[in-house]
């Protein structure tokens, strides 16, 4: 990573680091959509709804691993910016093994609690069956998936984002092929989808670890000295990511319960399929956030605060343009998108309505998510945590409880735009506060 290149070719460097991350994220989201296509058309919308009900489990795993990974890579990036390569490598090893231990314990606990939780919440029997078939397999795989997430962060921090993109491409192509074999040819149902994901993710785990062993120039596996201060700062720096994922896990469960009560299984299927578009767009925004995050941390460590602000401003402009393109595409192509998944006219009508309203939120999502990444990368975890908890729990929960009850299905689709709009005012307040602070008085960041 080179400060002069970042300073003189800001847009080029943003795209150099972000595009591979975005492609990797998009490939992951496309595979999720392909899984949905296979499951909806070959198994049924009840199967898709059953898997969707279990998504809060995934968000808990992501919350823990992203907290540790983002917290660790932020510290490592700052140390590299200061020229402390050995300390940076120590942080890498501590982060890697802390993640491994945490997600393995979480996976064991989840497997033990899966059946009691399903029985306790009195989930419909047909949905229980699909959830057990799918999560009984995928919970063994999640630890490896989370390790891949963290490994990808450090590969990008090392300045090799194309390596992570290539590994992700291999994983996802294999996943699609195995989906075809297991679900269509062998008729293994949702268990086949989970098995396909498991085999693909394990291959990715082997490839990424092989990179650190054979090819990495900065981050190498080695003996490390556990540092309590680093652990504390890791949790603090990554706390907003944990809050965001756990909050989303809670509100996703609440949202599913409200949709099932107000609309039924068909409503849950519709929100799942509309959610794919949001998931895909979020992957682009997160790709920009993860791509520029190491650059911002590096600049901060090198005491180039003005440069980090420049990166933020340029990135926001680029992603706002992407949001406008997404909004236009989803507005114009909502019906063909729905027809690709189903021929149920009622479900198609719900999806078309949902896409056209939900897409309004994309510009606000860009603003909120990128600024959350910015605060985290700069070392302002409190602001980032408040943003994440607002859009992921507090405001979102209130919107979920009120809007569907008052407006029905229209209220369901308005939940995201209303939540993001209110959160945007909170983000703007923090940006204004940072802008007027003494440390940044001479810089314009908005």
User: Closest Cα partner for 254 from 271, 231, 242?
Assistant: 271
Whole-number pLDDT of residue 440: 54
The reported pLDDT for the residue numbered 28 is: 64
| Nearest-angstrom CA–CA distance, 70 and 72 | 5
Buried b (16+ CB within 10 A) or exposed e, 24-41: bbbbbbbbbbbbbbbbbb
Task: Return the domain boundaries, the chain.
Answer: 3-440
- Global pTM reads 0.69
Taking CB atoms within 8 Å and a gap of at least 24, the contacts of 182-187 are 183/38, 183/39, 183/42, 183/43, 184/38, 184/42
> How many helices (H) does the chain have, and how many strands (E)?
17, 0
Distances (CA, A) of 420 to 250, 412, 423: 17, 14, 5
Residue 312 is predicted with a pLDDT of 86
Q: What pLDDT is recorded for position 444?
A: 41
pLDDT by residue for the chain (446 residues), tens digit each? 667 777 777 788 888 878 887 887 777 666 666 776 777 777 776 777 777 677 778 778 887 888 888 888 888 887 877 778 888 889 999 999 999 999 999 999 988 888 787 776 666 777 777 778 888 888 898 899 889 888 988 888 787 878 888 888 898 889 889 988 998 888 888 888 889 988 999 999 999 989 988 888 888 888 888 888 888 888 877 777 677 666 666 666 666 677 767 667 777 677 777 777 777 787 788 888 877 877 887 787 777 777 888 888 888 999 899 889 988 888 888 888 888 777 778 778 888 888 888 888 888 888 988 888 888 777 787 888 888 788 877 888 888 888 888 887 788 788 888 988 999 999 999 888 877 765 554 444 43
């Amino acid at each position: 990573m080179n400060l002069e290149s970042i300073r003189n070719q800001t847009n080029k460097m943003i795209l150099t680091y972000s595009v591979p991350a975005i492609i990797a994220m998009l490939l992951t989201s496309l595979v999720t959509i392909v899984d949905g296509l296979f499951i909806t058309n070959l198994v049924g919308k009840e199967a898709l709804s059953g898997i969707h009900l279990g998504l809060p489990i995934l968000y808990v795993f992501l919350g823990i691993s992203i907290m540790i990974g983002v917290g660790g890579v932020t510290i490592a990036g700052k140390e590299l910016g200061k020229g402390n390569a050995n300390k940076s490598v120590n942080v890498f090893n501590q982060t890697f093994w802390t993640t491994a231990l945490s997600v393995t314990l979480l996976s064991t606990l989840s497997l033990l609690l899966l059946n009691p939780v399903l029985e306790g919440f009195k989930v419909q029997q047909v949905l229980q069956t699909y959830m057990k078939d799918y999560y009984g397999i995928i919970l063994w795989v999640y630890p490896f998936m989370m390790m891949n997430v963290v490994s990808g962060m450090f590969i990008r921090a090392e300045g090799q984002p194309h390596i992570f993109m290539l590994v992700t491409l291999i994983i996802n192509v294999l996943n699609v092929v195995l989906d075809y074999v297991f679900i269509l040819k062998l008729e293994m149902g949702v268990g086949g989808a989970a098995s396909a994901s498991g085999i693909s993710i394990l291959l990715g785990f082997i490839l990424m670890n092989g990179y650190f062993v054979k090819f990495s120039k900065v981050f190498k596996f080695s003996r490390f000295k556990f540092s309590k201060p680093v652990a504390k700062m890791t949790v603090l720096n990554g706390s907003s990511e944990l809050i965001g994922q756990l909050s989303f896990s809670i509100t996703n469960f609440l949202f599913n319960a409200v949709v099932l009560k107000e609309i039924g299984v068909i409503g849950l299927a519709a929100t799942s399929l509309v959610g794919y578009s949001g998931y895909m767009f979020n992957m682009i925004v997160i790709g920009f956030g993860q791509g520029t995050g190491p650059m911002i941390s590096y600049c901060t460590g090198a005491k180039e605060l003005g440069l980090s602000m420049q990166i933020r401003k340029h990135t926001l402009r680029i992603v706002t343009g992407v949001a406008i393109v997404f909004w236009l595409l989803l507005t114009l192509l909502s019906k063909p998108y729905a027809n690709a998944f189903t021929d149920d006219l009622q479900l198609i009508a719900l999806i078309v309505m949902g896409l056209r309203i939900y897409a309004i939120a994309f510009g606000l999502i860009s603003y909120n998510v990128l600024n959350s990444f910015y605060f985290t990368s700069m070392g302002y975890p409190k602001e980032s945590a408040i943003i994440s908890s607002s859009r992921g729990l507090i405001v979102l929960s209130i919107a979920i409880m009120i809007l569907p009850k008052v407006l029905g299905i229209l209220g369901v689709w308005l939940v995201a735009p209303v939540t993001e709009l209110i959160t945007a005012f909170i983000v703007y307040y923090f940006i204004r506060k940072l802008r007027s602070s003494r440390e940044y008085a001479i810089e314009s960041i908005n």
